[in-house]
Amino acid sequence: MNKKLKITLISLSILLLVGLVSAASFALMPKASHKPSDYDLGVTYEQASREDKPIIGVFYVDWCTYCQRFMPKLDKVRNINKNDLNVVLINVDDPQNAKIAEEYRISGYPTVYIMDPKYDNRVHIDSAYLDSVTSLNKEVQRYLNFRKLIKKGESCK
């Protein structure tokens, strides 16, 4: 093989390799962040309040990048616990939610509470626990375990 042909084949191989690596990296890159309001959880705060399940209430605004990054984690925790609780999103920019945002004294986003209308209880989940599915789910499980103890106590009366 002549030298010119070898150089051409090597150059084409390198270009092909670079193209494949680029295509693979684009495929693995995180997708564009969705706004929290893009997530359809299927239940409103009013509907969830009437059920005998605790609620994870997430106060958010669509322009908040932390809220956008948090939503996939919340969605995973929701799927893990879908039989035991409801998840509701409360858009603080929506004037219809002004009363509840004021009641909970929302000042940062996202703000997450476990709300339990049956026992008139609310537990704030610190933002440090929102960084991973594992830590958020651990806090949710802690509350669900506590709630089981309360129910067990009620049945012993």
Contact residues for 138 (Cβ-Cβ < 8 A; gap 6+): 129
| Span 117-134, pLDDT tens digits | 988 899 999 999 999 999
How many other CB atoms are there within 10 angstroms of residue 84's CB atom? 14
Cα–Cα distances (Å) from 124 to 55, 65, 136, in that order, read 12, 21, 12
| pLDDT tens digits, 43-82 | 888 999 999 999 999 999 999 999 999 999 999 999 999 9
Mean pLDDT of the chain: 86
- DSSP secondary-structure letter at 35? P
End-to-end CA distance of the chain: 92
